[in-house]
Amino acid sequence: MKLDRAILVVFLGNYLINTVLAAVVALVPASTSGGILTAQYVTFVILSAVLVGALTWWYGARDLKSGAIFGATGFVVAIATAFVTGVSGVLSQTGSLSAVIGVLPNFWPFLANWSTLVLAGYWIIPAAAYGWYAQPKAAASMSGGM
C-alpha cells in the first residue's frame, strides 16, 4: 500500500465530499420538520459512501485490509482537515493566537458528536467493503486448479 498516494486520493475525496457533494445535496428540498435524519443528510451520506467506494477502486485496494486502511486514512485526513480549517479560520478572523488557544477545547466535543461516527462510517465501511469484494476469492482459485 502506498500511503502517499492514499493520502492524496483521500484528500481529493474529502474535498469532493465537502464541496461538490454538499452543493449537489443542497438541491434536495430542505426538511421543515427538523430532526437528525433529513432527506438532505441521508442523501449526503449515501452519495459520500458511493464516492468513497469509487475512490477506493481508483486507489486500487486489492483486499479487505488495504480497503480498511484506505478508509481509516480518509477518516483521519477528514478529521485533521476539519481541525486545521477550524484553527486557521479562527486565526484569520481574529488575528490572535490567544483566541485560537481559547477555541481548541471546543474541538473535543466536536469529535464526541454522533456525526463523527457517521463520518467514520462513510469512509471506512465502503472502502473495506470494496476491498473485500476485490480480493481474490479462495473458492475461485481452488476450482481453477482442478
**CA atoms of 116 and 98, how far apart (whole Å):** 27
Residue closest to 55 by CA, chosen among 6, 101, 103: 6
Asked if the model's pLDDT at residue 39 lies above 60, the reply is: yes
Q: Which amino acid is at 29?
A: P
Q: What is the pLDDT of residues 4-31, one digit of tens each?
A: 999 999 999 999 999 999 999 999 998 8
pTM of the model: 0.87
Over residues 74-125, the pLDDT tens digits come to 999 999 999 999 999 999 999 999 999 998 998 898 899 999 999 999 999 9
